[in-house]
Amino acid sequence: MTSEQLKATLRHQPFQPFTIRMVDGRAFHVPHPEWVIVSPSGRTAIVFEQDDSHSVLDLMLMNELKVPSGPTRIP
């Protein structure tokens, strides 16, 4: 997965919530584009959770961006 693919998904209009899947099986739901920060180098991303906890992800270990089809509502 590249940082450009992640950034394009975050910029998509209208935004659709999506799930980041990692090679180790972990999944991170992204309900809003402001919940993800991509590092300037594009190597890592920080994904925030609703309780303000966060995970630092290596984009080289990301294997899927799952975007549901059809219209969705942003909470």
Instruction: Give the pLDDT confidence of 3-25 residue by residue, as tens digits.
Output: 999 999 999 999 999 999 999 99
The number of helices, as runs of H, and strands, as runs of E, in the chain is 1, 6
What sign has the CA pseudo-torsion 40, 45, 48, 54? negative
pLDDT, averaged across the chain: 92
Helix H segments across the chain? 3-11
CA distance 73 to 75: 6
Across 33-42, 46-55, 66-75, least confident range: 66-75
CATH number of 3-66: 2.30.30.100
